[in-house]
């Protein structure tokens, strides 16, 4: 029997807010009867959902009313201090209390980090939370972290990211001994800065399946399952990817609508173009995890629509079922001790 899980949702986060979250909830409830939801939103929003869903889902769909909303541009420290009744905070607190097994929000990333950190606390032995996400590769997916939680990192942080990333990659890809690469500007041992080189040495001495330094194109080549970097570099790489994918999409659209002949070509090539569009659809990879915390917190893209939010919910379900935080806690106890600087 599939393990039942309850996911808490911040219905007010993201550009679309409840317009994306509620349809995603209802779709998931229909598809998967092992998933329950706790939807946190403004009283008006919840009234709307109740009117729509009626009694159809019984205790599988419960609600919590939130008096406040964290703004997308709000300073994280302000959100932490002054928005104690926000939908984001209440969703995270449901994970803390055990009422939910995971929470998902499309809201302000910095605030989600700050509040999660404060409410859930770090796992013992983990210094810093990190954001991990999946990107498409030639062979399937590659997991990248940190995507922006930490601007400056030392070798010990990178080591912990590698450890946490391997847990996530193994759980999602259903593999053993995920291959780990450290993002660098060359593959030779002499390349890069001191932090990266020291992290490489520590990983070499560990039981983790560390492959060595990799360059930016390894994200897509499929040569590793996990790519580790500090949050500055990881965030730039992620945004660059989004940018180039967007540019190529625009170029394709421009060329296939340049004149009536090209428009006909686009019609006749519809099935191939559609398949390409689907494979490049970034919504499929939506749902980044905040790792290192005592609980599962999933950050959905701020611009997520219904489909993208459903994908983020799936990420939350997998992490909740696999017990990612417990696994990380266990691994850091055994592996962390191997690292001389830990």
- Looking at 54, 176, 260, 271, which residue binds a second copy (CB under 8 A)? 271
**Cβ contacts of residue 105 below 8 Å, gap of 6+?**
9, 10, 13, 14, 87, 88, 91, 112, 297, 298, 299, 300
Name which of 206 and 221 has its Cβ closer to a second copy: 221
Nearest-angstrom CA–CA distance, 292 and 265:
50
Cα–Cα distances in angstroms (integers) from residue 5 to residues 175, 177, 244, 320, in the given order:
23, 27, 37, 7
Q: Answer whether 189's CB lies under 8 Å from 200's CB.
A: yes
Residue 67 found at the interface with a second copy (CB under 8 A): no
Phi-psi region of 93 (alpha: psi -120 to 50; beta: other; left: phi over 0): alpha
- Looking at 57, 141, 232, 307, which residue binds a second copy (CB under 8 A)? 232
Using CB under 8 A as the binding rule, the residues of this chain from 177 to 216 that contact a second copy are 183, 185, 190, 192-193, 215-216
Name which of 65 and 187 has its Cβ closer to a second copy: 187
Residue 122 found at the interface with a second copy (CB under 8 A): no
Name which of 229 and 300 has its Cβ closer to a second copy: 229
Name which of 49 and 304 has its Cβ closer to a second copy: 304
Residue 220 found at the interface with a second copy (CB under 8 A): yes
Residue 239 found at the interface with a second copy (CB under 8 A): yes
Residue 268 found at the interface with a second copy (CB under 8 A): yes
Residue 281 found at the interface with a second copy (CB under 8 A): no
Residue 217 found at the interface with a second copy (CB under 8 A): yes
Residue 326 found at the interface with a second copy (CB under 8 A): no
Nearest-angstrom CA–CA distance, 59 and 54:
12
CA atoms within 13 A on the CB side of 340: 8
Name which of 103 and 180 has its Cβ closer to a second copy: 180
- Looking at 122, 250, 326, 337, which residue binds a second copy (CB under 8 A)? 250
- Burial (CB count <10 Å: 0-12, 13-18, 19+), residue 197: middle
First to last CA, the chain: 40
Nearest-angstrom CA–CA distance, 306 and 53:
16
Q: Could you count the other beta carbons within 10 Å of the beta carbon of residue 248?
A: 12
Taking CB under 8 A as the binding criterion, the range among 21-29, 166-174, 242-250, 281-289 that sits at the site for a second copy is 242-250
Residue 141 found at the interface with a second copy (CB under 8 A): no
Binding site for a second copy (CB under 8 A): 75, 136-138, 148, 151-152, 183, 185, 190, 192-193, 215-221, 229, 231-233, 235-248, 250-252, 255-256, 258, 261-262, 265-266, 268-272, 275-276, 279-280
């Amino acid at each position: 029997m599939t393990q039942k899980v309850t996911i808490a949702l911040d219905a007010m986060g993201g550009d679309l807010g409840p317009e994306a979250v509620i349809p995603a909830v209802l779709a998931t409830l229909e598809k998967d009867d092992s998933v329950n939801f706790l939807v946190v939103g403004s009283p008006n929003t919840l009234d709307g959902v109740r009117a729509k869903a009626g009694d159809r889902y019984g205790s599988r769909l419960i609600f919590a009313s939130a008096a406040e909303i964290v703004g997308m541009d709000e300073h994280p420290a302000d959100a932490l201090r002054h928005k104690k009744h926000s939908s984001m905070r209440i969703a995270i607190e449901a994970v803390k209390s055990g009422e939910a097994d995971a929470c998902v929000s499309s809201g302000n990333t910095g605030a989600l980090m700050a509040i999660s950190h404060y409410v859930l606390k770090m796992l013992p032995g983990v210094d810093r939370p990190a954001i991990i996400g999946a990107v498409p590769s030639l062979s399937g997916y590659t997991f990248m972290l940190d995507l922006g939680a930490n601007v400056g990192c030392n070798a010990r942080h990178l080591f912990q990211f590698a450890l946490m990333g391997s847990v996530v990659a193994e759980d999602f890809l259903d593999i053993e001994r995920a291959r780990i690469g450290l993002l660098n500007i060359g593959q030779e041992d002499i390349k890069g800065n001191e932090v990266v080189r020291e992290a490489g040495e520590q990983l070499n001495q560990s039981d983790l399946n560390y492959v060595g330094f990799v360059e930016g194109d390894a994200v897509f080549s499929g040569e590793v399952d996990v790519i580790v970097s500090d949050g500055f570099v990881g965030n730039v790489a992620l945004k660059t990817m989004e940018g180039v994918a967007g540019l190529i999409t625009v170029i394709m659209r421009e060329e296939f609508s340049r004149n009536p002949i090209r428009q006909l070509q686009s019609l006749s090539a519809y099935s191939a173009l559609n398949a390409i569009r689907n494979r490049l659809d970034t919504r499929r990879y939506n749902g980044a995890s905040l790792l290192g915390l005592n609980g599962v917190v999933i950050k959905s893209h701020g611009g997520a629509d219904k489909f993208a939010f459903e994908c983020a919910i799936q990420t939350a379900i997998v992490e909740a079922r696999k017990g990612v935080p417990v696994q990380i806690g266990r691994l850091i106890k055994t592996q962390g001790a191997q690292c001389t600087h830990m």
